[in-house]
């Protein structure tokens, strides 16, 4: 059982987002959905009978998606890291999740709901933590020039002889 799970606050798109995210991530499913009753609708300003909370599991990670109204917006202070095995996986998630081009930098992107994602190949962490500080520095420099991470360019920077 997962002890801690994120809750994402949407204006009124929680159900739409649940359907979208379960299409993006493999091994995903929608769980329980609860709706605003008359009392909760009156307090929140949401329509009675509309979705309050949708529980989803995205590739084994549980999330709660809440329709709470327009009070709060997503920002870059919170992001979700997607560990990718190879460039094809990086490309696939980037294509599905990146919807705001001006937010793209160093493997970070925002989806159509404003949620921030880090689409990161496993090789990046390995290269950045290399005991050879010059190699790690070259990789960092190469990454800082990228929007979507390009593993081949990282490898070229890593292998380059000074």
Q: Are residues 98 and 62 in the same domain?
A: no
| 87 has pLDDT over 60 | yes
Q: What CATH number is given to the structural domain containing 29?
A: 3.30.720.100
Condensed to tens digits (0 to 9), the pLDDT of residues 22-52 reads 999 999 999 999 999 999 999 988 999 999 9
List, in sequence order, the alpha helices (H) in 2-150: 14-24, 38-44, 87-97, 122-128, 133-144
Give the pLDDT mean for 81-88: 98
- pTM to 2 decimals? 0.92
Q: Are residues 98 and 146 in the same domain?
A: yes
Domain count, the chain: 2
Give the pLDDT mean for 86-95: 98
Residue 161's pLDDT is what? Answer: 58
């Amino acid at each position: 059982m997962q002890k801690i799970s994120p809750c994402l606050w949407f204006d009124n798109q929680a159900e739409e987002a649940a359907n979208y995210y379960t299409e993006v991530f493999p091994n995903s499913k929608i769980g329980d959905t609860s709706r605003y009753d008359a009392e909760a609708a009156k307090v929140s300003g949401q329509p009675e009978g509309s979705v309050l909370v949708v529980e989803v599991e995205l590739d084994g990670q549980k999330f709660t998606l809440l329709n709470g109204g327009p009070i709060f917006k997503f920002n870059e202070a919170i992001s979700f890291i997607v560990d990718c095995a190879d460039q094809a996986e990086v490309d696939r998630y980037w294509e599905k999740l990146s919807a705001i081009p001006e937010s793209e930098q160093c493997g970070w992107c925002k989806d159509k709901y404003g949620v921030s994602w880090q689409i990161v190949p496993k090789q990046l962490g390995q290269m950045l933590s290399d005991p050879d500080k010059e190699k790690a520095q070259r990789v960092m420099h190469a990454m800082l020039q990228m929007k979507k991470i390009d593993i081949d360019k990282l490898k070229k920077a890593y292998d380059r002889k000074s």
